[in-house]
Structure 1
Amino acid sequence: MRSVLIAAGGTGGHISPGVALAEVLVSAKETYGFDKVIIHSLYRNKDNPDLKQAPCEVLWHNTPNLSGNFLLLPFRYVFHLLKSWFQFSRLGVDAVIGMGGYSSFPALLFGLIFRKQILLCEQNCIPGSVNRIFFRFAKKAAFSFPPKAAPLSCEWEILGNPLRKKAVPKLTLKFGEKWDPKKKKQFNVLVMGGSQGARQINNIVVNLMKHDFIQERFRFRMLTGTALYDEVSKKTKMADLISYSDNMAEHYEWANLVVARSGSGVLSECAAFALPMILIPYPFAKDDHQTANAKYMEANGAAVVIEQKDEDESRLFRVLNDFAENPQVLNDISVKSLECSHVDAAEETIRFFFGKG
């Protein structure tokens, strides 16, 4: 039996593209010569909607992060490592696709020691530490954006971030209709802080909505994050508040523009829906990778980047004011956003990895 293992156990930014690759592989196992597709993910992700709806078996593990009790950590880590390796051997794992993050390390180390095919997906402009370790051992690597500061000895291509089928638009977009000021007196703004929410962005937008001009020209829909929903609901009644949504397509179709962090998943999905983006990168992200992602989109005309650590709304106010005064700018950014999209990234990545299809 030949199996392919997708190590996707970190945040939603690792899990969603891993599930997208699994969707493609499950539908074309015979084409690529595999009998089984497996996702390897952390127990803490058991409530993740993408994994609950995964198209294949999910193998759960509890490998600890390399921190905590120094005396017990080596024993705990080795125990969970060997447990996973036994399961991989029993399932006939022949290829390992690493989606990044510390939780992909056990699967990638298995691939290295037992001489299995190692394939890597990197979602960010600045690659994560685990992927940087394994680039030298990988057969191929697929990137969402042009990589920075990454010594690469393997074969690699820039193919975009793999999108789940439910995150791909089903309608043909007509740019001019969305931002025609004669047809629309208000613009729909979708506010997102990522899968966990973002207190900074929530508070910036809450402050912003107190301005009369903003209330007149913009409508807001805020995905607050489950943990922050009650907090935001106490601060404002002027926005449509949603704690979490498993159907992002309907929100992207509603929106005229997006205010968000700059994780790869958000950028890729917004680009697929031709959405102009106002990006406020998480200022404390490791290696400042969110700023690098945001700057790439801005350089390609698909976004406006606001770099700040405080909750002052004045900079966002100025950007929205400029858009309201010149809606054609939104149309132009929309076109550039769509040009940055890779809606077939999942299929192209699997084809690149396994050379068929």
Structure 2
Amino acid sequence: MRSVLIAAGGTGGHISPGVALAESLVDRKDSLGISDVFLHSLIRNKDNPDLKQAPCEVLWHNTPSLSGNFLLLPFRYIFQLLKSWIKFRQLGVDAVIGMGGYSSVPALLYAVVFRKKLYLCEQNCIPGKVNRIFFKFADKVAFSFPPKDTKVSCTWEILGNPLRSKTVPKLALKFSEKWDPKKKKQFNVLVMGGSQGARQINNMVVNLMKHEVIQERFRFRMLTGTALYDEVSKKTKDADLISYSDNMAEHYDWANLVIARSGSGVLSECAAYALPMILIPYPFAKDDHQTANAKYMEANGAAALLEQRDEDESKLFRILDSFAQNPEQLNEMSIRSLECSHVEASTETVSFFFDNTK
């Protein structure tokens, strides 16, 4: 029997698919010969909704980022590293799944030093630095998207980004099945900037709603981010504003179109719901990985890509006006979006890592 540790401690983009894998592992423990499943996450994430609802025990750690007080950092880091390793040994961890990010390093090093099975999940088209370093030590690697300019010597597959069970759609309806021109004159647009919100996207959409033609044809629901909710609410009364939601399925079901950043989690969830996307990548993301993700979806016909750093809404206006004039564009994008989806990514990734026949 094996004990499996999932290192998912960085941002929501690492945590959510890590929890999704934990759900699948817990469901299939007996058939896969697994005794225990653990999540390893930073203590700062204790209020993360996914971790609060985790299907297994969460092991909290306080590993410092590789910055800050240069003189004290090595001692603090080594102390937290050894503390984690002692805990892993006590729990008999003999397989580690790394979801990326600096906070996964203690668990990845444990697997390398003590010669445990090491599996990596990479969410983005351009792999993160930590995963790139540990690719050469991994037994298997699962990619969400085709990796760009990446060489991996071990066994790897493109399986999609694991989705939490509560996010998987009961039925993915294409655009033409949700929007009837005889009954609906407006398109439902879901605006998202990630869990922290995105001031750039919020302000672009607020400016957009000042155009009469946009108000006539589009209805907006904005997930502003908790920190930005008050700011946006003072600027507009023309949209349905939500600071944060733990029930994204409800909003995806409502939407005909999404305006969002291009983190892998958002792309995977929108594709699962056959949603056309207008993607505005975060311009300061490491290695510009969000632009690479967005270009992949654009190349597959599932999204329109808008690359800009300012808050000028004119280009976004032209894209939406084009959709209003020709809704068939949205239906075609919806079909292509669904074709990019990997709804069973969680189950398939677990099988890839732990099914001996794979």
- TM-score, normalising length: structure 2: 0.98
User: For 2:234, what is the secondary structure of its paired residue?
Assistant: helix
- Residue aligning to 1:351: 351
- Residue aligning to 1:178: 178
Offset of 1:295 from its aligned partner?
0.1
Q: Does 1:43 align with 2:43?
A: yes
Offset of 1:249 from its aligned partner?
0.1
Offset of 1:183 from its aligned partner?
2.3
Gapped regions of structure 2 (runs ≥ 5): none
8 Å contact kept, 2:175–2:275: no
Offset of 1:179 from its aligned partner?
3.2
- Residue aligning to 1:92: 92
1:42-61 Cα shifts (integer Å, max 9, x gaps): 00100000000000000000
Letter in 1 for 2:61: H
User: For 2:292, what is the secondary structure of its paired residue?
Assistant: helix
- Residue aligning to 1:320: 320
- Residue aligning to 2:28: 28
- Residue aligning to 2:150: 150
User: For 1:321, what is the secondary structure of its paired residue?
Assistant: helix
CA RMSD of aligned residues (A): 1.0
- Residue aligning to 1:304: 304
Distance, in Å, in 1 between the alignment partners of 2:103 and 2:353 is 21
8 Å contact kept, 1:278–1:304: yes
Offset of 1:343 from its aligned partner?
0.2
Task: State the identity as a percent.
Answer: 80
Distance, in Å, in 2 between the alignment partners of 1:232 and 1:77 is 40
8 Å contact kept, 1:31–1:356: no
State how 1:69-108 maps to structure 2 within 5 Å: 69-108=69-108
- Residue aligning to 1:220: 220
- Residue aligning to 1:255: 255
1:46-92 Cα shifts (integer Å, max 9, x gaps): 00000000000000000000000001100000000000000000000
8 Å contact kept, 1:179–1:330: no
Offset of 1:318 from its aligned partner?
0.3
Relative distance call for 1:174 and 1:77 in structure 2 (3 A) is closer
Q: Which moved more, 1:254-263 or 1:1-10?
A: 1-10
User: For 2:137, what is the secondary structure of its paired residue?
Assistant: coil
Relative distance call for 1:37 and 1:217 in structure 2 (3 A) is same
8 Å contact kept, 1:264–1:293: yes
Q: Does 1:293 align with 2:293?
A: yes
Offset of 1:177 from its aligned partner?
3.0
Q: Does 1:119 align with 2:119?
A: yes
- Residue aligning to 1:59: 59
Letter in 2 for 1:267: L
Offset of 1:174 from its aligned partner?
4.8
Letter in 2 for 1:198: A
Distance, in Å, in 1 between the alignment partners of 2:122 and 2:174 is 31
Following TM superposition, the consecutive aligned residue runs of length 4 or more in structure 1 with deviations greater than 3 angstroms are: none
Distance, in Å, in 2 between the alignment partners of 1:13 and 1:55 is 18
Relative distance call for 1:315 and 1:172 in structure 2 (3 A) is closer
Q: Give aligned pairs, total.
A: 357
Distance, in Å, in 1 between the alignment partners of 2:281 and 2:45 is 24
8 Å contact kept, 1:179–1:331: no
Offset of 1:172 from its aligned partner?
4.7
8 Å contact kept, 1:180–1:327: no
Letter in 2 for 1:277: M
Distance, in Å, in 1 between the alignment partners of 2:332 and 2:136 is 40
Letter in 2 for 1:257: L
Offset of 1:315 from its aligned partner?
0.5
Q: Does 1:166 align with 2:166?
A: yes
Offset of 1:246 from its aligned partner?
0.2
Gapped regions of structure 1 (runs ≥ 5): none
8 Å contact kept, 2:174–2:275: no
State how 1:224-243 maps to structure 2 within 5 Å: 224-243=224-243
- Residue aligning to 2:18: 18
- Residue aligning to 1:189: 189
User: For 1:166, what is the secondary structure of its paired residue?
Assistant: coil
Offset of 1:356 from its aligned partner?
5.1
- Residue aligning to 1:333: 333
Distance, in Å, in 2 between the alignment partners of 1:149 and 1:176 is 37
Distance, in Å, in 1 between the alignment partners of 2:269 and 2:103 is 24
Distance, in Å, in 2 between the alignment partners of 1:183 and 1:352 is 45
Distance, in Å, in 2 between the alignment partners of 1:323 and 1:172 is 21
User: For 1:135, what is the secondary structure of its paired residue?
Assistant: helix
